Amino acid sequence: MLDRGRLALPSDDWFQKDPTRLIELFALADQHDLEIHPQAMRAANRDARLIDAKVRNDPRANALFLDILTSKRDPETVLRWMNEATVFGRFVPDFGRVVAQMQFDMYHHYTVDEHSIRAIGLLARIEKGDLDGDHPLATAIMRQIVSRRVLYVAVLLHDIAKGRGGDHSVLGAEVAMKLCPRFGMTPAEAETCAWLVRHHLIMANTAFKRDLSDFKTVLDFAEQVQSPERLRLLLTLTVVDIRAVGPGVWNSWKRQLLSDLFSGAEEVLRLGHKQNGRKERIVAKQGALESRLGWSAAAFERLKKRLPESYWIAEPDDILESNARHIADAGTRSLSIAANVYPARGATLVTVYAADHPGLFYRMAGAIHLAGGSIIDARIHTTRDGMALDNFLVQDPFGQPFDDDRRLKRIEQAIEDALANRHALTEKLAARPLPRTRAEAFEIAPNVLIDNRASNRYTVIEANARDRPALLNALAYALFQSRVTIHSAHIATYGERAVDTFYVTDLTGEKITSDARLKALENALLEAASGLPAEAKAA
């Protein structure tokens, strides 16, 4: 019945006569876009204890719940009402276990239940097209998704096993296999949902910590995903999971990386391994660049001969053009630095063209930090005539690009000073305060993972540590001291935790395979990640 346009109960014992009505109340509110009378909410809260195994296993109650969860109206609001009335946690006890559960880090802003409900709300808004500006790819592929209700259930369950003392992805997949049949889903839907929960972090981890220009990265990812529908589901789940973490966590850089990985994996899944060959891709990129530059054939041929194959594969078309003009402007100078806003990636592109020498990368990393910048990606190239051509993507401490001339000049000057050895770089770095002092409250044991299978050409090193001033500089210096060549670096920060990944070779350009060498490398990086005095040796 209605009381002044709000759903009300016909009698005080309405739920006691049939506890299934506790779910039906919220389903009706959703179906008819109605608010629930405060007295009815109080009664639901009081009688939620009547939800027992019989109600939980009632097919009608489960069908009503699934209707609420997958509603095309406003599932977030109705689920939040259910949660406030404690009906949600009673009907899905696994969800009840994470209600008000804090996440003790600086990355997550909300309790687990609030994060999950917000993620559902974001998914519904993406499906309606309300967030097309922020999430154009997710909005487009939502129209292609066949397993719609699988996606909504997976978003609800992706963190449901947090706080159980094990891998929450693995434990959550077990919960999904138990709950999906109860909700009335088919065995195939349950399997897909459990797979999504089990692998809900894989796309973000691959996009943010791995080199997407290394085709083996894309192949390995596609091999795990295995189907275009799973890829679409995973992309959408990843987007809402990141966005629901808290304000300021999502940015255009993350959107671009996820889009790049999605496009690469989609091509593999659609065409198998018959993607355009490496040489064909290089020729196509070179042809496109030549037409945009408008140079003479001889001038462009000289540029082509100077740059290695790996460069043409690694850089997108717009950076190829920017670099080519930078090299031309530099002429015969041994050092040329340019910092420009790069709106497509929500960052500042810093390009350094310099005479190559050992230790160049760690000096540049330290200089960018001193200028107040945070490196989110770095690609290091060496021309065939001994010049370094390095591209850094840099943001300020708030995740935004440096966008005024004064700050851009400060970055350029800091790098020039560091490379000319004008200042004692290490003392300046040591004196710089930690921008987020709260990070010191969290104990993170440094961890170094070395993988020779992730790439056909490089040894891939992942260093996990507590974020702190000049961490990247310290790690890069340790690699320099260990006599390895860095080819690319990928930097991800999750609150107080930093994850820096390096693609490296030995000085002859080969993977590092000696056990003794790998162990020494691991120890050197652990020392640097711990903040021990190793980096103080840097000149």
Which of 2-11, 58-67, 320-329 comes out lowest in average pLDDT? Answer: 2-11
Q: How confident is the model at residue 537 (pLDDT cuts 50, 70, 90)?
A: very low
Which of 125-129, 400-404, 519-523 comes out lowest in average pLDDT? Answer: 400-404
Q: 263 pLDDT exceeds 70?
A: yes
Q: Are 245 and 294 in contact (CB under 8 A)?
A: no
pTM of the model: 0.85
Task: Tell me the pairing of strands 35-36 and 6-7.
Answer: parallel
* pLDDT tens figures, 181-237: 999 999 999 999 999 999 999 999 999 999 998 889 999 999 999 999 999 999 999
Q: 151 pLDDT exceeds 70?
A: yes
Q: 101 pLDDT exceeds 80?
A: no
Q: 106 pLDDT exceeds 60?
A: no
Query: Among all chains, which residue has been given the structure tokens 């440096």?
Result: 402
Q: Are 311 and 381 in contact (CB under 8 A)?
A: yes
Residue 435, pLDDT score: 52
Mean pLDDT of the chain: 89
Residue 535, pLDDT score: 38
Q: How confident is the model at residue 539 (pLDDT cuts 50, 70, 90)?
A: very low
Which of 55-69, 182-196, 265-279 comes out lowest in average pLDDT? Answer: 265-279
Helix (H) or strand (E) holding 339: strand 335-342
Average pLDDT for residues 155-162, to the nearest whole number?
94
Q: Are 339 and 411 in contact (CB under 8 A)?
A: yes
Q: 60 pLDDT exceeds 50?
A: yes
* pLDDT tens figures, 353-385: 999 988 899 999 999 988 988 888 888 899 999
Q: How confident is the model at residue 289 (pLDDT cuts 50, 70, 90)?
A: very high
* pLDDT tens figures, 291-309: 999 999 999 999 999 998 8
Q: Among 350, 295, 355, 290, which Cα is nearest to 317's?
A: 290
Average pLDDT for residues 140-153, to the nearest whole number?
95
Other C-beta atoms lying within 10 Å of the C-beta of residue 350: 27
Q: 337 pLDDT exceeds 90?
A: yes
End-to-end Cα spacing for the chain: 78
Other C-beta atoms lying within 10 Å of the C-beta of residue 12: 11
Distance CA 215, CA 172 (A): 31
Domains and CATH numbers, the chain: 1-91 (1.10.110.30), 293-537 (no CATH)
Residue 463, pLDDT score: 92
Q: 333 pLDDT exceeds 60?
A: yes
Q: Residues, the chain, total?
A: 539
Q: 130 pLDDT exceeds 70?
A: yes
* pLDDT tens figures, 407-466: 999 999 999 999 987 666 766 766 665 555 444 555 678 899 999 999 999 999 999 988
Q: How much of the chain exceeds pLDDT 70, in percent? A: 91
